[in-house]
């Protein structure tokens, strides 16, 4: 492959959490001037490996060498000093709210102990412009509040700030999970430029089309073990097979029969606060409808309105022939509307609580008698969902934080599928979720959506094809097309999602 010497070597890395062996012996080399991607199913050990590499976990077995020097980090700061920079999945964690673009770019200078106690705004702007120019971000308005710019620009700022320290290795963890396809293309152009300038980039993503497109090499982790290196030309089925072995990955993408005489949910000229264009579509009993649009197309606003989180200004919502007025979340749940929100970490997971508690929390009244929770019924219900959704865990009492991202998402989906419902809304349910977990969730929905229905919001065409029976396309708050899944064409969908309709 290459006769170049690796700048960083991770050799036979092992890590256990109690009886659970997260990594059983993983080795990777990193070279200058390449984009090296790591793939693996949720729970395979990717996040654990990255956390060891960037100093988050101090206790592990194995060795890490940087330019032939054996290193052992006791903190992320030590990893940064040695030249390892990480841009984490959550963009909001990497920026400082209520600060300007310039201040976020020059954050290291502001926090430096060498900085003057007198704040020099002009100096900060000069430093920020220099940092921005190295990433080709000269067009940024330095005086703008960071909250006023798009997610993609926030991410570029975080990357530019990391590169200002001239790292030996730049780690990008799920960098496109919160940006649109167009914004992702711009990001890739920057990454190619950085690669060609000699930067070593470790890229981690569940979007396998991205992995195929940008990678010089792909490292595979399976069940905590090194499972090989893949080289271009890369194909998605090849990557999936390396990740999950001989698992049958083809989902029952069989056309399901839906009785169009039984309308489950209908939106009639519904105008939502923040959307303003009338929204109309139907979901039939037993049907999974995919609502697809780019980031910012107003998908989440529709989900929030149906779940009582956003005001409906006019129009009608009809469930099983009965017009309803959704006042709040409790009323939505009473009407049989359940929702898996977009950001599980912020809006769904109850931290430092068990898997059981995270599943049953909205329905404790069901498990209670005279105010006392019937624990054995609650445990039985939680275990049923854990088993049926294939949640990998040590037991219902394990903390939610002990699970991988994909298994955490299964817990949140299990929460809202636990009790009988009319409609379940899933807003970007596969963000940061590997392909196996995506298949598991999709298959469960297909098998259990017979007397109910589902509305899945997504901006990813591959996710849509996996799960939907019918497609509703939204562009800038306007419904621009509706079609059966058998009529979906990628180029046509991309055109409908991105065309100018102003």
For the chain, the helix, strand and coil percentages under 3-state DSSP, each to the nearest 5: 35, 25, 40
CA dihedral 348, 349, 351, 355 (to 10 degrees): 140
Mapped onto helix, strand or coil, the DSSP state of residue 207 is coil
Q: What are phi and psi of 401, to 5 degrees?
A: -65, -15
Strands 263-272 and 312-319: antiparallel
How many whole angstroms from its chain centre is CA 96? 21
Q: Which of 156, 202, 176 is nearest to 46 (CA)?
A: 202
In this structure, which CATH number among 3.40.50.360, 3.30.2350.10, 1.10.3720.10, 3.40.50.300 belongs to the domain 263-498? Answer: 3.40.50.300
pTM, rounded to two decimals: 0.60
User: pLDDT tens digit string along 126-184?
Assistant: 989 888 887 778 888 898 998 888 777 888 888 888 888 888 999 998 888 766 677 78
337 vs 326: CA distance, rounded Å: 10
Strands 34-39 and 217-222: parallel
Q: What pLDDT is recorded for position 283? A: 95
Q: Dig out the tokens for 5 from the structure.
A: 């010497």
Q: What pLDDT is recorded for position 214? A: 94
Q: What pLDDT is recorded for position 70? A: 95
Question: pLDDT tens track of the chain, all 502 residues?
Answer: 556 899 999 999 999 876 668 899 999 999 999 999 998 876 678 888 999 999 989 899 999 999 999 999 989 889 999 999 988 777 777 788 888 989 888 888 777 755 566 677 888 889 898 888 877 788 888 989 988 887 778 888 888 888 888 889 999 988 887 666 777 888 888 889 889 989 999 999 877 888 999 999 999 998 788 999 999 998 877 887 787 665 444 444 445 677 788 999 999 999 998 887 899 999 999 999 999 887 668 888 899 999 999 999 999 999 999 999 998 999 999 999 999 887 676 678 888 899 999 999 888 888 887 777 788 899 999 999 999 888 888 899 999 988 877 788 889 989 988 888 999 999 888 876 777 778 888 888 888 888 899 999 987 777 788 889 999 999 888 999 999 888 888 788 878 887 777 5
Q: What count of residues does the chain have?
A: 502
- The full 3-state SS of 50-94, as one line of letters, equals HHHHCCCCCCCEEEEEECCEEECCCCHHHHHHCCEEEECCCHHHH
335 vs 323: CA distance, rounded Å: 11
Q: Which of 451, 456, 455, 427 is nearest to 317 (CA)?
A: 455
Q: Dig out the tokens for 194 from the structure.
A: 């950085």
27 vs 29: CA distance, rounded Å: 7
Same fold across 8-244 and 263-498: yes
Q: What pLDDT is recorded for position 116? A: 60
CA dihedral 221, 202, 461, 434 (to 10 degrees): 30
492 vs 481: CA distance, rounded Å: 10
Return the CATH class of domain 8-244: alpha beta
Question: What one-character DSSP code corresponds to residue 233?
Answer: S
Domain ranges of the chain: 8-244, 263-498
471 vs 39: CA distance, rounded Å: 29
Mapped onto helix, strand or coil, the DSSP state of residue 155 is helix
Q: Which of 180, 197, 190, 156 is nearest to 33 (CA)?
A: 197
Within 8 A by CB and 6+ apart from 387, the residues are none
Q: What pLDDT is recorded for position 280? A: 95
Question: Cα dist. 383→326, 348, 419 in Å?
Answer: 32, 19, 14
């Amino acid at each position: 492959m290459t006769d170049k010497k690796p700048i960083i070597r991770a050799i036979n890395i092992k890590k256990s959490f109690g009886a659970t062996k997260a990594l059983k012996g993983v080795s990777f080399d990193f070279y200058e001037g390449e984009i090296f991607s790591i793939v693996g199913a949720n729970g395979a050990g990717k996040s654990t490996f990255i956390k060891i590499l960037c100093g988050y976990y101090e206790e592990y077995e194995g060795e890490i060498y940087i330019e032939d020097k054996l290193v052992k980090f006791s903190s992320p700061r030590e990893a940064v000093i040695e030249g390892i920079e990480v841009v984490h999945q959550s963009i909001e964690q990497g920026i400082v709210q209520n600060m300007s673009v310039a201040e976020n770019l020059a954050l290291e200078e502001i926090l430096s102990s060498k900085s003057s106690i007198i704040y020099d705004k002009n100096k900060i702007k000069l430093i920020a412009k220099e940092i921005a120019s190295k990433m080709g971000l000269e067009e940024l308005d330095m005086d703008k509040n960071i909250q006023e710019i798009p997610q993609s620009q926030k991410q570029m700022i975080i990357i530019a700030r990391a590169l200002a320290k001239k790292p030996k290795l730049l780690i990008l963890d799920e960098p496109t999970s919160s940006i649109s396809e167009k914004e992702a293309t711009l990001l890739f152009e920057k990454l190619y430029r950085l690669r060609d300038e000699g930067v070593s980039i470790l890229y981690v993503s569940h979007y396998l089309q991205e992995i195929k497109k940008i990678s010089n090499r792909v490292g595979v982790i399976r069940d905590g073990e090194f499972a090989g290196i893949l080289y271009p030309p890369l194909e998605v089925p090849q990557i999936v097979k390396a990740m999950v072995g001989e698992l049958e990955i083809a989902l029952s993408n069989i056309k399901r029969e839906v009785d169009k005489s039984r309308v489950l949910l209908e939106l009639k000229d519904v105008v939502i606060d923040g959307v303003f264009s009338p929204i109309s579509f139907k979901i039939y009993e037993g049907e999974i409808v995919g609502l697809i649009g780019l980031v910012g197309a107003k998908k989440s606003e529709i989900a929030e309105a149906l779940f009582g989180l956003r005001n409906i200004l006019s129009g009608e919502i009809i469930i099983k022939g009965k017009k309803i007025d959704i006042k709040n979340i409790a009323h939505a749940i009473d009407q049989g509307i359940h929702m898996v929100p977009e950001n599980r970490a912020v809006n769904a997971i109850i931290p430092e609580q068990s898997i059981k508690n995270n599943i049953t929390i909205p329905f404790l009244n069901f498990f209670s008698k005279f105010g006392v929770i019937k624990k054995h019924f609650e445990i039985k219900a939680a275990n049923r969902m854990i088993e049926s959704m294939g949640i990998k865990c040590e037991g219902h009492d394990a903390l939610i934080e002990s699970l991988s991202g994909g298994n955490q998402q299964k817990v949140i989906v299990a929460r809202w599928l636990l009790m009988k419902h009319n409609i379940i809304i899933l807003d970007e349910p596969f963000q940061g979720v590997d392909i196996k977990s995506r298949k598991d969730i999709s298959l469960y929905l297909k098998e259990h959506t017979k007397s109910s229905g589902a509305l899945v919001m997504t901006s990813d065409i591959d996710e849509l094809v996996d799960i939907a029976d019918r497609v509703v396309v939204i562009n800038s708050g306007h419904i621009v097309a509706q079609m059966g899944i058998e009529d979906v064409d990628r180029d046509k969908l991309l055109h409908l999602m991105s065309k100018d309709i102003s």
